[in-house]
Structure 1
Amino acid sequence: MFTPSRHLHPSPTRPPSRRALLRGAAGLGATAALTACGQGATTPRTSGDVTLALWTHDQNYEDFFTRSIPAANRLTDFAYHLSTTRAGAPDLVTKLLAQAVAERGVPDMVGFEMSAFPRMLRGDIAERLLRDLGEDVARTPGLKEDLLPARTAPFSKDGKLYGLDSDTPLIVHYYRRDLFEKYGLPAGADTWEEFARIGERAHREHGVALNAVVTGPDVNQVVQSFQMLFNQRGGGLFDKDQRLTLDSHEAVEALEFICRGLRAGFITPVSDYFGGPMQAALKQGKVIGVLMATWFKIYGLMPNVPEQKGRWGMAAPPRFAAGGHATATTGGTGFGVLRGKPNTLAAAEFLRSTYLTHEAQVRRFHDLGYLPTRASVYRDKALLRTTDAYLGGQRPFDVYTALLDDVPRVYVSPDQSILNDVLAGCLLGAYRGDLTPRAAIRKAAADFRDQAGR
């Protein structure tokens, strides 16, 4: 039975129809009117054969879940099959809301890429459409405490967990080990000030950059370049209550550092992290370091410069002398389960058995390269012994475990896209020298409040 959202004010004589509310939600970017997607009473399946409708933006996830079916069959009372739909990450959310309006065709499981998930946080959409996976986590003693808060925070609201993240994408500094040695550059600077001195000398003497920031049309990547440093410095775009917290001295300090790097040449501007110009800079040895998430090796380095296998290394990022964290995170995909469906329980059990067991998290690292989201898995002896051929035989978990205890939480807002639009423009203005870093941050915050109405 549909109950109007508390955020709506229906007529006292006749409340709006369920369909009208749903249409309004989809038409306005899903503003707080969605109901649970089950149509009427449903009888949940508790065992036996079940075909789950899975929506994802990435073939790799489909392959991983397919390979995980035998384990799920072993650990649950179900015998699973998958029916998969793939689409672009933003399109999945749009399609989900549209199908909820139509009251048919919604999936059982869906993967929410980090930049797309904030739309689900508007009003009570997530609460009405998605199962609280915190209840499933609580069924395993100690599991809630073992899950890294840095990876549950982005998919949580009001104490409820709506997505299980696929990764703990720690920020590290990838560097060309061979060229650092050739140019006499020390790897693993302790502070960003030291990194700047090393970088200024490297650019002055050898014409190379030790990092890159995005200055192209993709506003999400423009903000990402800044936000990694901002979060590490101890700041955040939003707090847990979705209030803007951008306007801060931490934001100014992070932006001042990037502007200094661009002026001095030890940070280079690129149109995006994955396209032709970046590939050319990597191939030519002009960019010999990249501050990025751990997944960048798989999606940025290995596809673009496979011939440089063995020449790269990985180090913990330098720290800000004034405070902050050892690292930060960027990106991620959280898988959620639709509530009120016959397959809701089966989907929750499938996700729990393929994503949250120790064995599943180890398997996910080996299959996809994504880091565990449970702290205890980082003590797995086999993972600790793992070596990485692309990184010259380096043991990556030596770096990961040293960072794990100091990873900040990142909170998102349903108005994230508005902030990204205005902030990207202000960041580019600061990079060009049209705005001071302080003026850029203040302008972005003011423009956001004007456009978001808060």
Structure 2
Amino acid sequence: MKRPALLVPVAAIALLSGCAMGGTGAPATVALDSDAAPAGEITVWSWDVAATALDRLGDEFEAEHPGTTVNVVDVGYDNAYDKLSVGLQAGSGLPDVVTIETDRAPGYINEFPTGLVDLTPVLGDDEADFDPFKWAAQSDADGALKIAPWDSGTVGLFYRTDYFDEAGVDPASIETWDDLVAAGEQIQAKTGRTLLSLDVATGGGFQMLLQQQGQGLFDEDGRITVNSPEAVEALTLLKTLNEKGLLKNVKGWDGRVTSAKDGDSAVTPEAVWWIGTLLGDAPELAGSYRVTELPAFDEGGARTSNSGGSGLAVPAQAKNPDLAAAFVAFALADADSQASMMVNEGLFPSYLPALQNEYFTEPQDYFGGQPVYQLFAEQTANIPPITFTTDNAEASDIVANAVVAAVLNGADPQQVLDDAAAQIATATDREIAE
């Protein structure tokens, strides 16, 4: 939830033993009764801090609705998707509510079109109150909401005030990526520090930069867009940073955390959950960091993106789907519930009314008294929506290789992305967008 995880292609898990797509045990469509009085018992699957949050809210739900029981099971991240895929394929074995990350949502929605309940009858009136990117990514092609938005990975730019001060760079002067590159050269000359640290082998933030421009790996028609002008611009930026000596290539999650602790780089473009990482892993740097908007590619352009996040779904095989949907609405479409998960568990809301809670304007000591959550709250509604497909995981692997070729090996960004598009087309039988 607060930390990225490696994505396993859904199709590779779901298509077991040559079974047909969609599962042999796919249940019939389940219609929710939005007027049903909450009653009975449900089981909820999640993991780590997300399970902690749901367990706490389950107690509150039970108190408000006597005669109900919410059993939250921490199934562990490593097991969650194996169990979910097998259960959807078999048409049995799943609980009433499951947690699904946004990046994986389209895979499950498309592979198992009748496997998840349409939550629109319960949450449809609240659509305008949710992060629009999350709502779109977790709905099917007909607009049915299959996975309710939970937490958003709104992106900002974390920066070291001491490095900026030593180099004489005013953070307020940075409006575009070109501005940041120029600032990075000045910071490096004055402090000897690189501008940022990224794991190039896993894509180096390429998809975050692409989404900032309103582009994904595929367009709304499912055509391949990894070689679009926006993609070339994003990859050219990463290549330029490396050529100018402004990028430190690190390995994996641990490498990025260690790099931050060691103070290697001046900035970190990352999601709101990076706050929790700094608080937990680098308490000694309190007072050194501030946060500002992500630089735009062009003046007036979007100054945020998304990295991570998840939602809650009700499997069609749920024993008590009406109670399950009622609990999902209680947890995710309620400002107090969503705000409480930010305060207690650090889960940043996708439900926009929750962002009006006074907690988001409170000064944060670690950031020198800056109300950092307010910036992310203001930017969440501005996250550009993009299209995910069942082939996103496979395409991501191919694109990551293209990023390595351009950034570390000096290849031409347009050429490697054209090659990547051709590889994806061969692997998926999808068309390349003109």
Indicate whether 1:338 and 2:323 are aligned: no
Partner of 2:270: 292
The residue identity in structure 2 corresponding to 1:81 is: V
Question: Out of 198, 219, 227, which is 1:239 matched to?
Answer: 219
Structure 2 residue identity aligned to 1:173? L
SS in 1 for 2:153: coil
Equivalent residue, structure 1, for 2:428? 452
Based on CA coordinates, which of the two structures has the bigger radius of gyration?
1
Deviation by residue 1:348-388 (Cα, 9 ceiling, x = unmatched): 111110111111121121122232223333333x1343222
- 1:136 and 1:39 map into 2 onto residues whose CA distance is 16
1:64 aligns with 2:42: no
Shift of 1:132: 0.8
Q: Count how many residue pairs are aligned between Structure 1 and Structure 2.
A: 413
Aligned partner of 1:223 among 182, 203, 207: 203
Q: How does 1:153-164 map to 2 (within 5 A)?
A: 153-158=136-141, 159-164=143-148
Query: Is the Cα contact below 8 Å between 2:130 and 2:351 reproduced in 1?
Result: yes
Query: How many percent of aligned residue pairs carry the same amino acid?
Result: 23
Paired residue for 1:356, among 307, 314, 333? 333
2:182 aligned partner, one-letter code: R
The amino acid that maps onto 1:228 is M
The structure-2 alpha-carbon separation of the partners of 1:404 and 1:116, relative to structure 1 and needing over 3 Å to count, comes to closer
1:73 is paired with a residue whose SS is helix
Question: Over residues 302-349 of structure 1, what are the superposed CA-to-partner deviations in whole Å (9 max), with x where a residue is unaligned?
Answer: 333121122211111111127642211111111111124321111111
Q: Amino acid of the residue matched to residue 295 of structure 1?
A: W
Match of 2:3 in 1: none
Post-superposition shift, 1:64?
0.6
Structure 2 partner of 1:79: 68
- Which residue of 182, 202, 210 maps to 1:197? 182
- Tell me the CA shift for residue 100 of structure 1: 4.0
1:163, distance to aligned residue in structure 2 (A): 1.1
Q: Distance in 1 between matches of 2:279 and 2:248?
A: 20
Equivalent residues of 1:35, 1:129 under 8 A apart: no
Asked if the contact 2:25/2:90 (under 8 Å) is kept, the reply is no
Q: Describe the shift of the 1:308–1:149 C-alpha distance in structure 2 as closer, same or farther (beyond 3 A).
A: same
What amino acid is aligned across from residue 168 of structure 2 in structure 1? G
Secondary structure of the structure 1 residue equivalent to 2:366: coil
Q: CA deviation at 1:32?
A: 2.7
> Are the counterparts in 2 of residues 118 and 415 from structure 1 also a CA contact under 8 Å?
no
Q: What is the rounded CA distance, in whole Å, between the counterparts of 1:24 and 1:359 in structure 2?
A: 37
Structure 2: segments with no counterpart, 5+ residues? 1-12
Distance apart, 1:401 and its partner CA: 4.5
Closer/same/farther in 2, CA of residues 316 and 303 from structure 1, 3 Å limit: same
Residue 258 of structure 1: how far off its partner (Å): 0.8
1:392 aligns with 2:376: no
Distance 1:168 1:155 in 2: 12
String of CA shifts for 1:113-151, please: whole Å, max 9, x gaps: 23333431334x0x311111112113xx5x222222111
**AA partner of residue 181 (structure 1):** D
CA RMSD of aligned residues (A): 2.7
- TM-aligned CA distance change 1:80 to 1:224, over 3 Å: farther
Output the CA distance in 2 between the equivalents of 1:345 and 1:28: 33
Over 3 Å counting, the alpha-carbon distance change for 1:286 and 1:392 in structure 2 is: same
* Other-structure match for 2:236: 256
Distance 2:226 2:56 in 1: 42
Instruction: Say if 1:421 and 1:384 are closer, same or farther in 2 by CA, change over 3 A.
Output: closer
> How far did residue 231 of structure 1 move?
1.4
Counterpart in the other structure of 1:137? 123
> Which segments of 5 or more consecutive residues in structure 1 lack a partner in the other structure?
1-22, 217-221
Q: Summarize the Cα distance change of 1:179–1:423 in structure 2 as closer, same or farther, 3 Å threshold.
A: same
Match of 1:423 in 2: 399
CA distance in 2, matches of 1:205, 1:264: 15
| 1:437 equivalent among 381, 392, 413 | 413
d(CA) in 2 for partners of 1:34, 1:325: 44
SS at match of 1:406: coil
Q: Which residue in the other structure is 1:113 paired with?
A: 101
1:373 aligns with 2:350: yes
Q: Is this contact kept in 2: 1:93–1:117, CA < 8 A?
A: no
1:267 aligns with 2:247: yes
CA distance, structure 1, for counterparts of residue 204 and residue 311 of structure 2: 18
Paired with 1:24 and 1:48, the residues of 2 have a C-alpha distance of 33
Partners in 2 of 1:61 and 1:215 — Cα distance? 29
CA distance in 2, matches of 1:88, 1:28: 26
What is the CA–CA distance in structure 2 between the aligned matches of 1:86 and 1:103, rounded to whole Å?
Answer: 19
The 3 A distance-change label for structure 1 pair 104 and 31 is closer
- Displacement of 1:252: 0.5
For the residue of structure 2 that corresponds to 1:168, the secondary structure is strand
Q: Distance in 2 between matches of 1:153 and 1:259?
A: 31
Residues 100, 310 of structure 2: 8 Å contact kept = yes
Cα separation, 2, equivalents of 1:29 and 1:152: 30
Preserved contact between residue 44 and residue 70 of structure 2 (Cα < 8 Å): no
TM-score by length of 2: 0.87
Contact 1:230 1:236 in 2 (8 A): yes
The change in CA–CA distance for 1:401 and 1:304 in structure 2 (over 3 A counts) is closer
2:216·2:386 contact (CA, 8 Å) conserved in 1?
yes
| 1:369 alignment partner AA | G
